[in-house]
A = this chain, B = another copy of it.
Amino acid sequence: MSIAERKEREKQEMKNLIIQGAMEVFLELGYEKTSIRTIADRIDYSPATIYLYFKDKDSLFLEVQHVSFGLLIQEMAGLADLDDPVSQLREMGYRYLQFGIEHPEHYDLMFIINDPLVCLMEDEKEWHNGHQMYQVLVGVVERCIQCNLIRMTDPQLATLMIWSTVHGLVALHCRNRLWAVGISPETMPSIGKSYIDQFIETIRT
């Protein structure tokens, strides 16, 4: 079955080529302004070819999103080295925020864009990726609560609040709503750090 294997491999390589091209264009132009024709042009194939490998634009987008999730998870490596759970929490906050500031397009694809992901039940892959990272956060928060280091008691609610607080800032930044309160994109990194520091100080016992 060597030929069949090679065919399968070539098929996967073709998928990867499309995903890579799509990623480039998605990050350059954003989701809405990216057209299948542009992606096809980028990789020197016809638009119709893409539909032989992906059901539709959303389906292709989900694959790109999966790669983005991988990047963020990678960014969180080595957190367990910090033995203080509050330090872990702060460090996660720093890195999450930094990721949002440095890769707003990736962040947008993962947490803000509308279309797909509604079909979570159908797409196990994404669910798994996002859920996995959330569980890491839940673990850290649980340890903080167990050691009585933060002013919350319910791990689920606390985790949700912590995530939302950081996501809120990144989301407002990604969608340029912070101009209205006098924060320019350039000042975001320094404000972001103060933001996390203040938040940790506020919730810790």
Which A residues form the contact surface with B (CB < 8 A)?
30, 32, 111-114, 117-118, 120, 127, 130-131, 134, 151-152, 154, 157-161, 163-169, 171-172, 175-177, 179-181, 183, 191, 194-195, 198-199, 201-203
The reply to whether B164 and A172 form a contact with Cβ atoms under 8 Å apart is yes
* B111 and A158 form a contact (CB under 8 A): no
A110 and chain B: residue at smallest CB distance = B177
Chain A, interface SS category: helix
Q: List 19 A-B contacts (CB under 8 A).
A: A32-B32, A32-B114, A111-B177, A112-B112, A112-B171, A113-B175, A117-B176, A130-B180, A131-B181, A152-B198, A152-B202, A160-B181, A160-B195, A161-B169, A161-B195, A161-B199, A164-B169, A164-B195, A165-B168
Least distance between A78 CB and chain B CB atoms (Å): 24
Contacts of A167 in B (CB 8 A): 168, 171-172
Contact B111 A172 (CB under 8 A): yes
Chain B residues with CB under 8 A of A180: 120, 127, 130-131, 134
The reply to whether A179 and B30 contact each other, CB–CB distance below 8 Å, is no
- Stoichiometry (number of copies): 2
Query: How far, in whole Å, are A150 and B2 apart by their CA atoms in the complex?
Result: 69
Name the residue of chain B whose CB is nearest to the CB of A194. B157
Contact between chains at A198 and B168 (CB < 8 Å): no
Q: B residues within 8 A CB of A171? A: 112, 167-168, 171
Contact B30 A114 (CB under 8 A): yes
Which residues of B are found within 8 Å of A152, using beta-carbon distances? 198, 202
Residue of B nearest to A154 (CB): B198
Structural contact, A134 and B195, CB atoms closer than 8 A: no
- Per the bound structure, the CA–CA distance linking A120 and B183 in Å amounts to 13
**Contact yes or no, B161 A165, CB < 8 A:** yes
* A168 close to B175 (CB less than 8 A): no
